[in-house]
Amino acid sequence: MITAINPANGQAIGEYAEHTDAYVDAALTAAANAQKEWRKVPVEERVKLLISMARVLRAGKAKYAAMITAEMGKPIVESEGEIEKCAYNCDFYAEHAARYLADEAVPSNATESVVAFDPLGVVLAIMPWNYPFWQFFRFAAPAFAAGNGAILKHANNVPQCALAVEEIVREAGAPEGLFATLLIQPSKVAGLIADDRIAAVTLTGSTEVGAIVASQAGTALKKQVLELGGSDPFIVLADADLEQAATVAVKARYINVGQSCVNAKRFIVEDVIADRFVELFVEKVAELKIGDPTERDTNIGPMARENLMTGLHAQVEKTIAAGATLKAGGKPLEGEGFYYPATVLDHVTSDMVAFCEETFGPVAAIVRAKDADEAVRLANQTEFGLGSALWTTDMDRARKLARQIEAGAVFINGMVASDPRYPFGGIKRSGYGRELGVYGIREFVNIKTVWIGPAIAAAPTPKAPE
């Protein structure tokens, strides 16, 4: 059985039977068969499914948001925002997919040669719990529009959300079998990856799991997109608007209870303004409300699982023992549920745990740099390379420094966020490949050269003898 636990109180809220091997086999066959027909449907018709998915998502927003909050503890207002973002992503690809997938003419001596974008087949999506709807629809909208089918292996602590995703796609009118959710244990994933009915794999998850999936998919010679961990730097230079930077920094760290790959985690601040930034940051952290995630004014809900909370606390304790200064929070709340307060660690250095490791929870590490060059060096001193933020009022310098930061994205005077208009993904141990934008929809396609030479005139048909 797969059990869902409400992290707000630690109580079980549902048990779900695992799918049998026979069920999995039938789902794979159905998806492969359905995709063979789906790929023949013109993209202008396929995107009607996306429009319908957006409609279903919005109509059920309250219900689906409540599922998210119940299973992984996201504050309800953020859960509602997640559902709306899924719908927006579907609308975006419904509008742009035909243009993104249109044949591209290639100038040559041949006539009308093109690059075409054909679907790959059925894609296995291995998805995490922290954005249980968004992570799937971020992938699925462009994948369906491109003519692919999909199989979802979701995190086992959000089974209700996983089944709801399947319900949404079905209600939206997807062809029978094109998509299925599988409730299975992680040990079954290797078999799915190796199965000939799976054409490619996409994973959002930890770096450790990403390495395993990459090895398995590589052995099977199958395309992968990996969006993995992150330790995003949030650089604040001396000429930044500190009030605005501190306001955005708090949101960037503590949204989703700090449980996101692209949460800002290391706040690298120039020495001359560090004390003032820390003062502002701590003041704004004190305004955050921790508590029941179903209440609309809650900012910090419970962490998704107890082991995540205890692991985060161990990182905090090690960092303090190494010499960091605790400015706020610092230990789990007493009582039921997996609550960890918004925590601020100052004077963190590059040899401390909170700098070297990803802190997947509501803990901010403040690092002091003597100047902009050292700030960029510290930002790059990590195995990760997902997102980054840079705060300064000097735009010429900002553009130059942005090119020096080793990350998949640099947000200048803003908070890192995924947006269907822009490609999303990382470098180094944050993974490879891209989601979203034109590059995302082209990840799971066969980029095919169609060379067309000049037509050869047919020989004249001989006349019959008179």
The burial class, CB within 10 Å (0-12 / 13-18 / 19+), for 466 is exposed
H/E run at residue 21:
helix 21-38
Cα gap 266→416, rounded to integer Å: 13
The predicted-structure confidence for 330-385, as pLDDT tens digits, reads as follows: 999 999 999 999 999 999 999 999 999 999 999 999 999 999 999 999 999 999 99
Task: Report the pLDDT value the prediction gives residue 326, as an integer from 0 to 100.
Answer: 98
Q: Which residue(s) pair with 202 in the sheet?
A: 125, 225
Task: Report the pLDDT value the prediction gives residue 466, as an integer from 0 to 100.
Answer: 59
| Catalytic residue selected from 90, 261, 356, 406 | 261
Q: Give Cβ neighbours of residue 35 (< 8 Å, ≥ 6 apart).
A: 119, 121, 122, 147, 148, 149, 178
Q: Give Cβ neighbours of residue 14 (< 8 Å, ≥ 6 apart).
A: 3, 4, 159, 160
| Catalytic residue selected from 71, 78, 227, 270 | 227
**Structure-block tokens of residue 430:** 């944050």
Beta strands in 170-286 (DSSP E): 179-181, 200-204, 223-227, 232-236, 264-270
84 is catalytic: no
End-to-end Cα distance, the chain: 85
In terms of pTM, does the model score above 0.75?
yes
**Structure-block tokens of residue 309:** 């909370």
Task: Report the pLDDT value the prediction gives residue 460, as an integer from 0 to 100.
Answer: 64
227 is catalytic: yes
316 contacts 340 by C-beta, under 8 angstroms:
no
Q: Compute the CA torsion angle 191, 195, 201, 204 (nearest 10 deg).
A: -20
The full DSSP string for 377-406 is: HHHH-SS--S--EEE-S-HHHHHHHHTTS-
Domains 2-228+426-449 and 232-412 share a fold: no
**Long-range contacts formed by 16-21: CB under 8 A, 24+ apart:** 16/159, 16/160, 16/163, 16/183, 17/183, 18/183, 18/184, 18/185, 19/182, 19/183, 19/184
**Closest of 214, 309, 220, 206 to residue 257, by C-alpha:** 309
**CATH 2.40.10.220 is right for the domain spanning 2-228+426-449:** no
Query: Which residues of the chain, if any, have pLDDT below 70?
Result: 110, 456-466
Q: Which fold has domain 232-412?
A: Aldehyde Dehydrogenase; Chain A, domain 2 (3.40.309)
Segments making up each domain of the chain, as ranges:
2-228+426-449, 232-412
